[in-house]
Amino acid sequence: MIEFNLDVALVIQLLVSTVLPLLVGLVTKTVTRPGVKAVLLATFSLLTSLLVELGAAVTAGTTYDIGQGLLLALPTFLIAVGLHYGLWKPVGAAEKAQELFAPSTVTVHENASPKPEPLIDLD
């Protein structure tokens, strides 16, 4: 007999870990140091792992297993880092997430010639 069961909490955890790098991009600026972003990603991974495990315990009516939540934080962090460098960064989604709330900037390009050319030739 073969059985296929998926724990809803683990599926939610996997889905959350795929969007964590984008969430870090939303709450940081493009000039934020990579070390700060890594600490934020690790913190988000830990918090979501603990909260997902808490939700699973409350839903099932069982005792909250903090060890399970702490253990799930590591693969969540590793999946998030892998997806950041393997998917979100190469396609530009990480940068777009960071630019989403950034103030727009105006770039002024100078003309190469010192004298502007007339629109109508009068000669």
In a domain, 2, yes or no: no
In a domain, 89, yes or no: yes
Q: Do the Cβ atoms of 31 and 99 come closer than 8 Å?
A: no
In a domain, 116, yes or no: no
Residue-wise pLDDT tens for the chain (123 aa)?
Answer: 899 888 888 888 888 888 888 888 777 776 678 888 888 889 999 999 999 999 889 988 999 989 988 998 999 999 888 888 888 888 888 778 777 766 655 455 555 555 656 556 555
Helix, strand, coil shares of the chain, percent, nearest 5, are: 65, 0, 35
In a domain, 111, yes or no: no
Which residues lie closer than 8 Å to 68 by C-beta, 6 or more apart? 53
In a domain, 47, yes or no: yes
Give CA–CA dist 102/11, Å, rounded: 32
In a domain, 115, yes or no: no
> Is the dihedral angle over the CA atoms 76, 56, 7, 69 positive or is it negative?
positive
In a domain, 62, yes or no: yes
**Domain total in the chain:** 1
The domain containing residue 67 runs over which residues?
A: 8-99
